[in-house]
Structures are given as structure tokens and as C-alpha cells.
Amino acid sequence: MGVKLHVDLETLQLIQGPGQRSAVSSLRFKRGDAARLQVVFLENGITPVTIGDSGTLEIQIGIKPRNQFDRSYLAHTADWSMPSEGDDTPAYECALGFNTLQLNSALNIGSPTAEELPEITLMGEITWREGAGEPTSTRTFLVVVENDVNRGDEGVPTDSDPAYPAPGTIVLKSDEGFTVTLRNTLKSFDPNTATIDQFMDAFATLIDTLKDKEIL
């Protein structure tokens, strides 16, 4: 899974893209997946730039329970690849894993007493610093992690026996042995030319027929 993020270096917000300075409302990921992130830092919200000497630059992204700043990470990485020197559109990349024991616990996976949650809303932040310099961080952003559906241990569903008939083969049969279907009952009815009275008469005839045959 690849996700491209844009950081406005003036506001330190995640924004929609170059020249689109509306803040990203949230990021969504799947529990158990590994997300490939590509982060582009934008000067004045427009121009991609580097944020320091790649030899001394440190970057990390961390995700924690929302408003629980002193808790341990649920997902985190400080392993980033740097852009090539002279790249016109420099971007920083990392792989962020969402298969952690801490995240599983937050979703109640494996809990003997609580139901698993369908998703959980967390908070995230990207921080960088060059050498021993002071760190710079993005504004805190929301991260929604959805519980995963396919886990690999479900097995294969068993076909029913007998198989359910195709819709076109389903008919209604009276106790006199003849077949009654909606199409045959109304085959002389033309909806393009029928009046309201004709429609009501045809509908009443159908209902009466089904009641007589004890189908309704």
C-alpha cells in the first residue's frame, strides 16, 4: 500500500497537495498491513524541497492512542530513505507496519472478554531534526486504523446442498398443477398505454388469483 503525504513547511500541516493547502482530515490504514509512505515537504505549500543534510537528518513517524501522549507507540518507524541529490521533486520514504501487538491490543484482538473493534481513531506526528539540532514536528493528525477482514486462517466456505436455484427458475405453483408467474399474469398488460384504472384492475386480478390458490 502506497500513501503520498504532503507537509506544508509554513503551517506544518498535512495538506492535499502542492498549491492545495486544505488540511488532510485523517489518514486511513488497515491493521496488519505494511504501508509505504512517501512524504514530500513543500516550501510555501507549493515547491518540494529537502529538509536537511541526508547524512545527519533523522526522521520518525509515530502513532499513539488519541490524546494519550504518554503512551507507547502503536506504530512507529525511524527508518527512512532519503531523496537523491539534485532530485527536482525530493521525497522521503518509509515503511510503516500496522501489525503490532500494541495495535492488536487496542483493537481488542485476542481479548477473552471484549469484542474486537471495527476501527480505532489514533493520532500521528512526523518529526525531523538535523544532527544535534532542535526537532521540528508536523501538526498532530488523525489516523484511522480499520480492523482487517482477511486473516488467512478462515478456511473456505462450504457450498450449500442443494444449491439455491437461479432466480429465473423460481416460479409459484398452484394446487391445480399449473404455473403462475407474475410475467404470465400480467403479460397482456402494457404499462406504456395502460390507464391507472387498468393497472389497478390487473393488480387486483393478480392478488385475487394468488389468494384463490392459497399462495398469499
Which residue in the block uniquely carries the three cell numbers 477482514?
Answer: 149
Q: Using CB atoms within 10 Å of the CB of residue 161, give its burial: 0 to 12 exposed, 13 to 18 middle, 19+ buried.
A: exposed
**What is the band of 214 on the pLDDT scale with cuts at 50, 70, 90?**
low
Q: Are 39 and 72 in contact (CB under 8 A)?
A: no
C-alpha pair distances (Å), 160 with each of 150, 154, 163:
22, 18, 5
pLDDT 10s digits, 173-202: 554 444 454 555 556 667 677 777 777 877
Neighbours of 140 (CB within 10 A): 15
How many C-beta atoms surround the C-beta of residue 20 within 10 A? 13
* pLDDT at position 78 over 50: yes
Number of Cα atoms under 13 Å in the Cβ half of residue 127:
12
pLDDT tens digits, 80-113: 999 988 889 999 999 999 999 999 999 999 999 9
Q: In the structure grid, which three cell numbers stand for residue 137, read together?
A: 514536528
pLDDT at 63: 98
Q: What is the pLDDT of residue 108?
A: 96
> Which residues, other chains included, contact 172 with Cβ-Cβ below 8 Å and sequence gap of 6+?
179, 180, 181, 210, 215
Cis check for the bond before 157: say yes or no (omega within 30 of 0). Answer: no
Residue 204 confidence (pLDDT) above 50: yes
Q: 210: burial class by Cβ within 10 Å (0-12, 13-18, 19+)?
A: middle
Rounded CA-CA distance 159/118 in Å is: 27
| Structural domains of the chain sorted by starting position, each given as residue range(s) with its CATH number in brackets | 2-146 (2.60.40), 167-212 (no CATH)
The string of pLDDT tens digits covering residues 150-163 is 988 888 888 877 76
d(CA 181, CA 50): 71
Find the angle CA(190)-CA(192)-CA(193) to the nearest 5 degrees.
Answer: 75
pTM: 0.72
In three-state secondary structure terms, 58 is strand
